[in-house]
Amino acid sequence: MRGGDVLIAQNGFLFLGNDHVQVIDKLTGQYLPSQEKIVDGVEMLARMETAARVQGGQFLFAMAPNKHSIHSEFLPEGHGTRLTAK
């Protein structure tokens, strides 16, 4: 396995490497989505809400944290610096 595929961490933890949707870059703040990506995401959620409503349903969106955010203390050295809320 290449380092970009999987990160082998402390205590036997395995994490997706940065090759998977730039997960490490997102965690450390090195990747920020463009305004266009944000707008595309918002529009997609609006379409999903509309589709649910048309069929008499309700659309709920929940964003859960990933393993990298919850257990960043186990990431290999240099990969565990995460953003903190201000």
Most confident of 26-30, 45-49, 77-81: 45-49
| Beta carbons of 27 and 68 less than 8 angstroms apart | yes
Beta strand residue intervals within the chain, DSSP E: 6-8, 14-16
CA distance 65 to 70: 7
Residues 4-39 pLDDT 10s: 678 777 778 888 777 777 888 888 888 888 999 999
Q: Please tell me whether the overall predicted TM-score, pTM, comes out greater than 0.85 for this model.
A: no
